[in-house]
């Protein structure tokens, strides 16, 4: 009597029309995925229902908040490297895809994660900042980790954090501790691949203790100019630090000087470059109900009939970049001359969500939330809204962070907004409402500016303006200017 077959062998044999190495990788992770349960999507979590868990989470948040915030930096990876050392280098327990750029990082990370998950790989995703709840920053299998797991991870690494704090001139920052938690959580899961978004820059960003086989660079524009440089080329120099020896660089369309810097870096470290518009890109794009229909050219060939439930040309470009990154991770375009399974790619893109990025949260009137926080992001959002929505009148609710180019953002939105309600979000970094109002008056004119210091009052005022007259039945409201503004609005509008 023959011995029963190993289920692992059955899974591999079932993948006869796929690359053998990829089949083995997929088969090897299914047991873990079965234990973890089916993906639960990627909702923005609310506060824990259990009062004791909520209390414990708030205590952790308070401890983290006592450290340097994300805008106070000492440009070095010395402390995070020391933490990784005492933790046993958890970031080396899995391969990774590293993402930098100015805009589109989180949306691209979510798309990459969705594609990898569709191909049966167990994923970890680390992104920032969060929209509503700190646990969003660390995701496993496409869903934010639970509050209980977040607390447990913090408690596990806290003795090692204290050890590094005692040795170094400066304590680990909030972002450095969060990064350590993410890398430890991914190793503990364990994940098959980590998708990691930089916090700021690249070379000295805390995430840059990984040696990613794929480095993704989304569009570079002016932001954080006081820390990264005042030209796209200078900023690209800092961001190019994530490109490691022998890696593949997936490069979105870039300003010429930024592209030149990235290409030079790739040559220096013998990295392979895949450029949007050259090795991969968008073949066709058309507006569809609830999103857009794409044909993408990947590193291995064309993928047609892809429905992306997101608005705006910028999201189509993000999708092309994400697809190329996943192909590169699987060796397509280098070792393998083939495409990924197109039906799996279609399913992955069709299920993508990206909270707070041109997200419709209410109808009658339509209310859209978008986390655009710099002029380039605002221009992309303005174009996307003009293309996808036929508003007869659009009212803006805007609050920015004090370190951002508020004037540039207001100027980008001015052509599509009939009026703007200026407010201040709940972040300590929010631009002073009177200062923002003064800028808005210069850009829009006094008659088109309303000031409401509280976000709830600002949203109510905007909705009232949108509903003011019958002729404006096609009116809408856009809440934007900062991820913090979007987070406040999401809570107020009940998106939990």
Q: Which of 121, 136, 159 is nearest to 31 (CA)?
A: 121
CA distance readout (Å), 83 to 158, 170, 184: 10, 13, 11
Residues 37-53, mean pLDDT to the nearest whole number: 67
Residue 46 pLDDT grade (very low, low, confident, very high; cuts 50, 70, 90): confident
Q: How far apart are the first and last CA of the chain?
A: 56
Can you give the pLDDT at residue 227? 60
Q: Which of 324, 157, 309 is nearest to 252 (CA)?
A: 324
- Which two structure tokens, joined as six digits, stand for 120? 């049966």
Compute and round to an integer the Cα radius of gyration of the chain. Answer: 23
Bridge-based pairing state of the strands 393-398 and 419-422: parallel
Residues 63-68, mean pLDDT to the nearest whole number: 93
pLDDT at 326 over 60: yes
Can you give the pLDDT at residue 28? 38
The residue ranking higher by pLDDT, 102 or 292, is 292
- Which two structure tokens, joined as six digits, stand for 491? 């809570």
Can you give the pLDDT at residue 20? 39
Residues 21-43, mean pLDDT to the nearest whole number: 39
Spatial contact of 300 and 293, defined as CB atoms under 8 Å apart? no
Can you give the pLDDT at residue 139? 97
Spatial contact of 285 and 292, defined as CB atoms under 8 Å apart? yes
Bridge-based pairing state of the strands 248-251 and 143-144: unpaired
Mean per-residue pLDDT of the chain: 88
d(C-alpha 261, C-alpha 247), whole Å: 16
For the whole model, what pTM was predicted?
0.87
């Amino acid at each position: 009597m023959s011995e029963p077959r190993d289920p692992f062998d059955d899974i591999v044999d079932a993948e006869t029309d796929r690359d053998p190495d990829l089949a083995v990788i997929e088969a090897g992770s299914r047991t873990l995925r079965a234990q973890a349960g089916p993906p639960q999507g990627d909702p923005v979590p609310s506060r824990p229902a259990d009062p004791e868990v909520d209390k414990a989470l708030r205590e952790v948040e308070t401890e983290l908040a006592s450290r340097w915030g994300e805008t106070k930096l000492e440009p070095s990876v010395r402390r995070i490297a020391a933490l990784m050392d005492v933790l046993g280098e958890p970031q080396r327990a899995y391969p990774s895809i590293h993402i930098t750029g100015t805009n589109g990082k989180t949306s691209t990370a979510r798309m990459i994660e969705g594609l990898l998950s569709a191909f049966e790989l167990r994923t970890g995703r680390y992104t920032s900042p969060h929209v509503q709840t700190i646990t969003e920053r660390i995701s496993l299998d496409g869903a934010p980790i639970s509050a209980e797991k977040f607390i447990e991870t913090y408690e596990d690494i806290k003795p090692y954090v204290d050890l590094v704090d005692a040795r170094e001139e400066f304590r680990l920052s909030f972002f450095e501790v969060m990064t350590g938690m993410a890398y430890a959580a991914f190793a503990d899961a364990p994940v098959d691949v980590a998708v990691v978004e930089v916090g700021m820059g690249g070379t000295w960003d805390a995430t840059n203790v990984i040696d990613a086989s794929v480095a993704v660079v989304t569009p570079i524009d002016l932001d954080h100019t006081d820390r990264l440089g005042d030209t796209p080329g200078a900023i690209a120099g800092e961001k190019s630090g994530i490109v490691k020896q022998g890696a593949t660089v997936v490069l979105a369309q870039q300003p010429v000087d930024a592209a030149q810097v990235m290409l030079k870096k790739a040559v220096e470290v013998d990295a392979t470059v895949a450029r949007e518009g050259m090795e991969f890109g968008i073949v066709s794009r058309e507006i569809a109900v609830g999103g857009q229909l794409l044909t993408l050219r990947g590193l291995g060939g064309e993928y047609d009939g892809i429905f992306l439930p997101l608005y705006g040309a910028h999201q189509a470009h993000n999708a092309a970049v994400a697809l190329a990154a996943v192909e590169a991770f699987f060796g397509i375009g280098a070792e393998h001359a083939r495409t990924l399974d197109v039906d799996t790619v279609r399913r992955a893109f069709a299920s993508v969500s990206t909270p707070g990025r041109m997200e419709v949260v209410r109808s009658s009137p339509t209310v859209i939330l978008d986390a655009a926080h710099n002029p380039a992001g605002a221009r992309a959002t303005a174009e996307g809204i003009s293309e996808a929505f036929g508003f007869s009148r659009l009212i803006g609710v805007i609050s920015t962070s004090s370190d951002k180019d508020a004037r540039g953002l207001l100027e980008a939105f001015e052509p599509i907004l009939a009026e703007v309600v200026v407010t201040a979000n709940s972040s300590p970094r929010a631009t002073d409402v009177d200062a923002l109002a003064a800028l808005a008056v210069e850009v829009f004119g006094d008659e088109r500016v309303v000031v409401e210091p509280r976000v709830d009052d600002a949203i109510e005022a905007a909705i009232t303006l949108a509903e003011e007259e019958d002729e404006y039945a096609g009116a809408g409201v856009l809440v934007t200017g900062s991820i913090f503004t979007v987070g406040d609005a999401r809570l107020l509008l009940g998106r939990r």
